[in-house]
Structure 1
């Protein structure tokens, strides 16, 4: 799939495109402690899967802080932010920014999440990292909301994401 993604540059995304009403693939990502944890699939809670290119950018940092704030008031929702950052960099970011209400994971090892969700950027300056996207996944493991940001330097529509979450909790 081709999208306009980096200041007007068209890029191709690799992997299996996941859309609303599809089953959310279950994949493992690496946590700050180097232990793997699973995102996607069926769970006992509503999941919000936030995919960002790198926590080391102002937009990704702001997005992660925003979802961390929202998670503090949403006790029945599991929010996971996944990037391609090394776990050590994620750990520094979370410590510095006080990120403690969400799971933060890395897809750096095999890019399993980026490929399973069709988000791996194939070409251009950011080839090899994931596109910016948000998925809301119900308890049955079905995607009930998807936002693929058509410009990687723009944050998702938080109001729409939160409305989708709140009508399901």
Structure 2
């Protein structure tokens, strides 16, 4: 389990992120059209999984904006923004912000993604939400980079994630 902080207070997750160099675990998430999407649906692209608690918090919203901006210049790469927000909220946010270089996916149905990737909070005020993390996956499904952000109120290291794509 990852020991992180939320507003400076201790928090922990149900596990740890998958290890770099291993195959990414499969997942099934729901997109903003309420369609199921799995890892294999993106097998032709490199992936940046931008994982966060909710689009309705400032840092989470900023991470989506920043990855949206950076994604426009990435070759053969898709940015998947993943939370437990309802797909309607994700569509509302991205539509209002004009964000069209990222794909919003939700773990609201089962929570399996958060448990498999070790990012579900097991305690704290955010219990059952997803922690802030980044996972970069190559076209063959190999994990190239992971970051479990140690303080939920801080942004991820965008450059480290993007550099892993090269």
Normalising by the residue count of structure 1, what TM-score does the alignment of the two structures yield? 0.92
Counterpart mapping for 1:77-156 below 5 A: 77-156=77-156
Query: 1:51 touches 1:134 (CA, 8 Å); kept in 2?
Result: yes
Please state how far the C-alpha of 1:98 moved relative to its aligned partner.
Answer: 0.7
Q: Distance in 2 between matches of 1:44 and 1:101?
A: 17
Q: Which runs of 5+ in 1 are unaligned?
A: none
Change (3 A) 1:2 1:70: closer
Q: Distance in 1 between matches of 2:20 and 2:41?
A: 14
- Residue by residue over 1:26-77, the C-alpha shift from the partner in whole angstroms, topping out at 9 and shown as x without a partner, is 1011111111111379812211111011001110101001111111111410
Of 115-124 and 37-46, the range deviating more from structure 2: 37-46
Equivalenced residues, count: 166
Q: CA RMSD in A?
A: 1.6
Q: Which runs of 5+ in 2 are unaligned?
A: none
Query: 2:17 touches 2:146 (CA, 8 Å); kept in 1?
Result: no
Change (3 A) 1:59 1:109: same
In structure 1, the partner of 2:3 is 3
Q: Distance in 2 between matches of 1:80 and 1:30?
A: 11
Q: Distance in 2 between matches of 1:40 and 1:53?
A: 24
Q: Distance in 2 between matches of 1:48 and 1:67?
A: 9
Q: Distance in 2 between matches of 1:143 and 1:40?
A: 14
Of 9-18 and 30-39, the range deviating more from structure 2: 9-18
Please state how far the C-alpha of 1:17 moved relative to its aligned partner.
Answer: 3.9
Counterpart mapping for 1:21-32 below 5 A: 21-32=21-32
Moved runs in structure 1, 4+ residues, more than 6 A?
Answer: none
Normalising by the residue count of structure 2, what TM-score does the alignment of the two structures yield? 0.94
| Secondary structure, counterpart of 2:10 in structure 1 | strand
Change (3 A) 1:40 1:121: farther
Of 75-84 and 142-151, the range deviating more from structure 2: 75-84
| Secondary structure, counterpart of 1:66 in structure 2 | helix
Q: Distance in 2 between matches of 1:44 and 1:88?
A: 27
